[in-house]
């Protein structure tokens, strides 16, 4: 999709703080995080929402979310994590994506750049 910001990130037209990438998905830090380490998992193939994504891609996204959970526990010592996926009018970008939002009892204060360095080192 020519206008899709996530497709532009996948194609490398827009830079991102990429945490993980394989042939199916890309995981990167949200540039306006709701918590330290807030990241997005997006499929490389353009799907608009839950209604049009295939089950194999959806399953892979869930598998990757488990890997990201382990990474966040190991590198940022999170106390919990929310997984959010929006559809319809509440979906800001019309490209299927899953939010991974870490939770902290006494949260750290890091910039996106500092979090990126901690997660990829």
Domains and CATH numbers, the chain: 5-120 (3.30.428.10)
- Residue 98, strand partner residues: 41
What's the rounded mean pLDDT across residues 82-101? 95
pTM of structure: 0.89
Q: Which of 76, 94, 86 is nearest to 38 (CA)?
A: 76
Residue 63 burial (CB < 10 Å; 0-12/13-18/19+)?
Answer: exposed
Q: Which of 88, 53, 113, 76 is nearest to 100 (CA)?
A: 76
What's the rounded mean pLDDT across residues 9-37? 95
Q: Which residues are catalytic?
A: 97
Query: What's the mean per-residue pLDDT of the chain?
Result: 93
Q: Which residue has the tokens 């037209």?
A: 13
């Amino acid at each position: 999709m020519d206008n899709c910001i996530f497709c532009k990130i996948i194609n490398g037209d827009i830079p991102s703080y990429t945490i993980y990438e394989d042939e199916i998905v890309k995981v990167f830090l949200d540039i306006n995080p709701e918590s330290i380490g807030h990241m997005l998992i997006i499929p490389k193939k353009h799907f608009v929402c839950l209604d049009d994504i295939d089950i194999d891609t959806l399953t892979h996204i869930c598998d990757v979310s488990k890997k990201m959970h382990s990474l966040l526990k190991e590198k940022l010592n999170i106390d919990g994590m929310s997984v959010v996926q929006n559809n319809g009018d509440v979906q800001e970008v019309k490209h299927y994506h899953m939010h991974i939002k870490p939770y902290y009892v006494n949260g750290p204060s890091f910039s996106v750049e500092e979090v990126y360095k901690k997660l990829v080192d």
